[in-house]
Amino acid sequence: MPASARIESLGLGLSESTKGRREDQNCADFVLTEPQVRAFFAQSREVTWREIHDSEDLGFAPCLVTGRLVFEDGQQVRFAINPFLVATLSYSDDSTRLLACEGACSQSVLGPP
Per-domain residue ranges of the chain: 6-104
Q: What is the pLDDT of residue 52?
A: 84
Q: What is the pLDDT of residue 19?
A: 53
User: Which one-letter amino acid corresponds to residue 10?
Assistant: L
Phi, then psi, of 67 in degrees rounded to 5: 175, -165
| Sign of the CA dihedral with 52 first, then 56, 61, and 63 last | negative
Q: What is the pLDDT of residue 2?
A: 72
Measured in whole angstroms, the distance separating CA 55 from the mean position of its chain's CA atoms is 17
Q: Are 61 and 71 in contact (CB under 8 A)?
A: no
The answer to whether residue 111 scores a pLDDT higher than 80 is yes
DSSP secondary structure letters along the chain: --TT-EEEEEEEEE-GGGTTSGGGGGGGG----HHHHHHHHHH-EEE-HHHHHH-SS----SEEEEEEEE-TTS-EEEEEE-TTSEEEEE-TTS-EEEEE--THHHHHHH---
Give the mean pLDDT of 77-104.
93
- pLDDT tens digit sequence for 19-53: 555 555 567 788 999 999 999 999 999 999 888 88
The closest of 46, 42, 96, 90 to 66, measured between CA atoms, is 90
